[in-house]
A and B are shown apart, each in its own frame.
Chain A
């Protein structure tokens, strides 16, 4: 079955600390992987995507993610978190059908 697992429901970090949000997927074909961010009451903003090529991808706002096929993972990282990064983060997987399967999200809280 196709699925995305985000094991951390809620993460709290101090401003300036590093961040890693975990994402594991199950997908029968070549996966296309995405990270989106959602602020309260808002739509989804694309942070970064992986289709092929270099397994370390750079995104907006200083985020990066690494695709590890052997671990079926696509973890999101940021070296230094800012208070404005507080939001809900969603990992998603897609394929040739263009339908996205989302995880349940990780809520990030940032303390000053």
Chain B
């Protein structure tokens, strides 16, 4: 069974640029959630995708957007990068958002640095 994978591992961008982060969910999982973890903080929920539809969103501006593909992999896109976007971005997959809370399994994260 393959776990959650994310790419790239590290990324450096400058203010105003756009970035795309990728996530492959664990086998058998159809729900992907994205979290932002700033340095020294706990992860903050960005949004969740279930069967290619957004299924809940946290307190993040519209320049944070996402996609989920038919194979349940997912992308997180951030436009007009700001310095405060520098963080570890974590992807988590779970079996099904319709089952109520389920165990979320996390990937290793993508470290984004905005200069």
Which residues of chain A have a CB within 8 Å of any CB of chain B? 4, 32, 34, 36, 41-46, 49, 51, 90, 92, 94-105
Closest B residue by C-beta to A105: B42
Q: Considering only CB atoms, which chain A residue lies closest to B97 in the complex?
A: A98
Would you call B103 and A49 a contact (CB within 8 A)?
yes
Tell me the complex Cα distance, A81–B13, Å. Answer: 40
B102 CB to nearest A CB, Å: 6
> Could you list 12 A-B pairs, sorted by A, with CB under 8 Å?
A43-B6, A43-B90, A49-B103, A90-B43, A92-B42, A96-B100, A98-B48, A98-B94, A98-B102, A100-B104, A102-B35, A104-B41
Count, A-B residue pairs, CB within 8 A = 72
Given the known inter-chain contacts A98-B33, A102-B42, please indicate yes or no for A43 contacting B109, CB distance below 8 A: yes
Chain A nearest CB, measured from B87 CB (Å): 13
User: What is the CA–CA distance of A12 and B33 in the complex, to the nearest angstrom?
Assistant: 33
Cα A38 to Cα B56 in complex, Å, equals 25
- The answer to whether A103 touches B42, judged by C-beta atoms less than 8 angstroms apart, is yes
- Which bracket fits the contact residues of B? 20 to 34
Candidates B40, B42, B56, B105; contact of A98 at CB < 8 Å: B56
Binding site for A on B (CB under 8 A): 4, 6, 31, 33, 35, 40-45, 48, 55-56, 58, 90, 92, 94, 97, 100-109, 111
Q: Are B48 and A102 in contact (CB under 8 A)?
A: no
| CB closest chain-B residue, reference A46 | B103
Q: State A34–B100 Cα separation when bound (angstroms).
A: 14
Minimum C-beta distance from B23 to chain A (A): 11
Query: 5 tightest A-B contacts by CB?
Result: A102-B42, A32-B101, A94-B101, A44-B106, A43-B108
